């Protein structure tokens, strides 16, 4: 019998794509948020966390220790890496049953999706630019010259 070709042989292009994927920066930065939840006559303040790779000009996902109701309006205050005061509406809230043991002062047991609304077009443009900057940072593939440095 003649020998069957090795099905594991990869084309040079797929090997190059694999190498490019392996060179990507996978460090994901987090940011702390302060969320203000209106409860009748007063506001409740809570701390939340977000991944800077998990946002868009229209919405974001955050991790929080309090359950939020879909449709509920909240205010967000992001201070670092750039300062923004944004209003958002809860689109969904999902309990996180983590199987990982993460030591944290604040257990963030809910993941919340938010639809964002801005008070001015300038604020919307500034946030869209910030989202683009974060996207460029996380999707950039290091070049050979950057690795040598």
- What are the average pLDDT values for consecutive 10-residue runs of the chain, which has 149 residues? 61 74 69 87 86 85 90 90 89 79 68 92 92 78 48
pLDDT for 79 equals 85
**Predicted structure pTM score:** 0.68
Cis amide linkage into residue 81, ω under 30° from 0: yes
pLDDT for 90 equals 94
Domains of the chain: 30-139 (2.40.10.220)
C-alpha span between 10 and 135 (Å, rounded): 30
């Amino acid at each position: 019998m003649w020998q069957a070709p090795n099905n594991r042989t990869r084309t040079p292009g797929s090997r190059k794509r694999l190498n490019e994927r392996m060179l990507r920066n996978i460090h994901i930065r987090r940011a702390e948020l302060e969320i203000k939840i209106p409860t009748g006559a007063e506001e409740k303040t809570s701390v939340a966390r977000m991944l800077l790779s998990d946002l868009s000009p229209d919405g974001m996902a955050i991790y929080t220790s309090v359950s939020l109701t879909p449709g509920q309006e909240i205010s967000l205050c992001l201070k670092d890496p750039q300062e923004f005061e944004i209003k958002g509406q809860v689109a969904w809230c999902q309990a996180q049953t983590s199987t990982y043991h993460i030591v944290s002062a604040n257990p963030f047991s809910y993941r919340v999706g938010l639809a964002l609304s801005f008070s001015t077009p300038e604020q919307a443009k500034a946030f869209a630019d910030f989202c683009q900057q974060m996207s460029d940072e996380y999707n950039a593939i290091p070049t050979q010259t950057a690795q040598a440095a």
